[in-house]
Structure 1
Amino acid sequence: MALPLLELNPTALSARVTNLSVGSEEEPRRTPEGVQRSPQAMDELIERAYRQIFFHAFKADREPGLESRLRRGQISTRQFIRGLLLSEKFRRDFYRCNSNYAVVEQVVGRVLGRPVHGEREQIAYSILIATEGMQGFVDALLNSPEYVDTFGEDEVPYQRSRVLPGRSLGEKPFNQQAPRYSSYWRDISASRAPAGPFSAGAQLERGLRSPAWVDGQPPKLAQTLWLGLAAIGGVELLRILITTAAAMLSTGSPG
């Protein structure tokens, strides 16, 4: 039976927000509901969404299909965020590089704009990922009262912090606190690295690593193909040697 999610009902939107920051001009500005965004404002919203979810807005990682639907009003900002979280880019660079615990930290920080609220919440969401997959986890966050009440349908999530006027220095932004992957991925990658005389070369070892390798061995199909090529090469080499030897003997014999 899956572990239920937290039963804690916060009395305020910031009940689980532990970050501290200093009020400044860089504070996120919410767009009043019902206001039609200009093309420039829509561009800025899309850029903020990419930076919030991917931590950057590189052209190679953009989702033009989602952008087009958002600009035409076919999907809301919340649905656009959902599309980015379930994109191949996010799965490849974040989901597959981390354990479920680390994925919870990454996604909660990006979607709810706060750190994970204790080990209990982390375990509950980790089990949710294991039972319902990444899509179930993302939908649970985006449909949660905390997200809807804080960001609504048309606001890009942002890092929520408690502002202390008397504090001169805030905490690091989430994108500086959460690396793309942790030591977990490095350890897994090392266990999948091929064993052999090249293992001492760090650069070459990184080049030979593949997620498809398990326990230092390539897939069965790759092994079969390699053995077949080796056998064919051996037979061909033997044929060349025999042909060469026969030619030498025939040349040296009296005519």
Structure 2
Amino acid sequence: MPFLSYSFSCQNQRVESYSEKATQPNLYLSDNPYAKDVDSIIWASYRQIFSEHQILTFTRLVGPESLLRFQTITVKEFIRSLLLSNAFKNLNYDVNNNYRFVEMCVQRVLGRDLYSEREKLAWSIIIASKGLEAFVDSLLDSDEYLENFGDNVVPFQRRRIIAQRSKGETPFNLKTPRYGKEFLGNLSTGKPQYIWQGTVRKFTPQERIPKAGDPALYLGMVKDVSFTLSPIK
């Protein structure tokens, strides 16, 4: 199935003051990096792909980290290892539908938001027809990725919305990716679950509290009485 075509622009880009280029310095792997420089690149890669919510012990890839330190692989190949890792699949791919997963990957890998629903559909078709690995390869091998990040630059958010400067905008890599609204219905009961961990207290209105002489009080009195039967001698 051919890749679905879509426009490479959106209405927001026609307004000059609506967005701005990112001021974050590019982290790239030089020919002779210091150890601390490689540590910064590794941390930035985890933060960009997994977000700070998911940087846990079991999400680390010790093998690819070692290969990157010895420059056996490029930053681009390290990013690919993160995207195809079991931890990333379990925390992001398995708990979202294809549309939400595509949106998240385009934001974190290409550093921008989706242009339109048509682009979201185009990438979703790649996942559905060719699989997750082909989708990741299509993102990393795209002209857009190579022109902006190449082989040794850590992806970053290239543009930020500044329309509501007072509220600010949460960076793509800090948004919680799990559990879209449509996924809540797929939990165990088939319905959204609301868990209250506080103390449950029962409130009875004043007019419903039984007064003295009310027959409703007798049942409580009967429950309080304990009968002890002694054997007949």
TM-score under structure 2 normalisation? 0.69
Aligned-residue offset at 1:55: 0.6
Name the CA shift for 1:19/1:147 in 2 (closer, same or farther; >3 Å): farther
The 8 Å contact of residues 3 and 127 in structure 1, kept in 2 or not, is answered as no
Do 2:59 and 2:88's aligned partners in 1 also have CA atoms closer than 8 Å?
no
Q: Give the Å deviation of 1:175.
A: 3.4
2-side partners of 1:41 and 1:168: how far apart? 34
- For the residues of structure 2 that align with 1:71 and 1:141, how far apart are their CA atoms? 24
Counterpart residue number, 1:143: 141
Equivalent-residue separation in structure 1 for 2:179 and 2:49 (angstroms):
14
User: Can you list the C-alpha shifts for 1:109-130, whole angstroms capped at 9, x where unaligned?
Assistant: 1101111110010001111100
Name the residue aligned to 1:103. Answer: 101
In structure 1, give the amino acid aligned to 2:71.
Answer: G
- Aligned residue number for residue 212 of structure 1: none
Residue in 1 that maps onto 2:132: 134
Code of the residue aligned with 1:148 in structure 2: it is: L
Q: Distance in 1 between matches of 2:8 and 2:115?
A: 12
CA–CA distance in structure 2, aligned partners of residues 136 and 181 of structure 1: 24
Matched, 1:52 2:48: yes
Q: Secondary structure at the match of 1:156?
A: coil
- How far does residue 151 in structure 1 lie from its aligned partner after superposition? 0.6
Greater fraction helix: 1
Aligned in 2, Cα 1:68/1:32: closer, same or farther, shift over 3 Å? closer
Cα deviation, residue 190, structure 1: 3.7
The aligned residue for residue 38 of structure 2 is: 42
Unaligned runs of at least 5 residues, structure 2: 197-233
Q: Structure 1 residues 81, 6: closer, same or farther in 2, change over 3 A?
A: same
| Structure 1 residues 169 and 22: alpha-carbon distance in aligned structure 2, compared to 1, 3 A threshold | farther
* Count of residues paired in the alignment: 188
User: In structure 2, how many angstroms separate the alpha carbons of the residues matched to 1:142 and 1:113?
Assistant: 12
Is the Cα contact below 8 Å between 1:20 and 1:161 reproduced in 2? yes
CA contact (8 A) 1:22 1:170 kept: no
Shift of 1:73: 1.1
Report if the CA contact (8 A) 2:8-2:115 is conserved: no
Deviations 1:171-193 (A, max 9, x none): 22113445322123221114569
The residue correspondences of 1:1-255 to structure 2 (distance < 5 A) are 2=1, 4-6=3-5, 8=7, 20=19, 27-31=23-27, 34-56=30-52, 57-161=55-159, 170-191=168-189
Could you report, residue by residue, the CA deviation over 1:76-126 in whole angstroms, capped at 9, with x for unpaired residues?
A: 000000000000001101000000101101111110111111001000111
Q: Aligned pair in 2 of structure 1 residues 125, 51: CA closer, same or farther (>3 Å)?
A: same
Q: CA RMSD in A?
A: 3.3
Alpha-carbon spacing, 1:119–1:3, altered in 2? closer, same or farther (3 Å): farther
Q: Which has the higher contact order (CA 8 A, sep 6+)?
A: 2
Question: Any idea what SS the aligned residue of 1:67 has?
Answer: helix
Q: Match of 1:113, as an amino acid?
A: G
CA contact (8 A) 2:107 2:157 kept: yes
8 A contact 1:93–1:180 mirrored in 2: yes
- Structure 1 vs Structure 2: percent identity of aligned residues? 37
